[in-house]
Structure formats: structure tokens, C-alpha cells
Amino acid sequence: MTEHYTENILEAPDSEIVCWCSRVSKQMVLQAVIDGARCLEDVSSMTGACTQGDCRRLSPRHRCCSIEIIRLLDTAIKHKE
């Protein structure tokens, strides 16, 4: 059974999983930005996202989660400034 996901992560609910191998939600990524994350490496160290390297297999999007995380990060930083 495939878990629910929103193709455009910017339109996804905050509870939606972004990093499937580490089970990191959109809200966790956004909270990392609030807490000072400015790049993918910051989000990874703060949340554990992008550390297992298995999202391409586990995600219903069939791609690395870094694409979604960077989109969230860029958008959240722009709104924060």
C-alpha cells in the first residue's frame, strides 16, 4: 500500500512525510528553519533527513527527498526574511 503524498510539497499538509527513510515531516523541516537552518546540511543535522539514503526506494515520489527539502527550505527562508 502506498502512503498518501502530495506531489507539490509546498501544498502538502504540515504532517506529511518529506524524508521517507528517516520519517521527517514537512513540519519538522519548517521548524528547523525557524530554529535557524539555512541549508540542506543544517536541516539534515537538525532533523536526520537525508541521512539514510533510501528515499528513492521508500518514497512514493520515487526520488531523493532533498528536492522537496530544498524547495521547503528556500520558500520558508524567503518568508522568514
Q: What is the pTM of this model?
A: 0.90
Return left, alpha or beta for 48; rule: phi > 0 is left, psi -120 to 50 is alpha, else beta: left
Domain boundaries in the chain?
24-80
pLDDT tens-digit series, residues 6-38: 999 999 999 999 999 999 999 999 999 999 999
Contact 28, 48 (CB under 8 A): no
Q: What is the pLDDT of residue 26?
A: 97
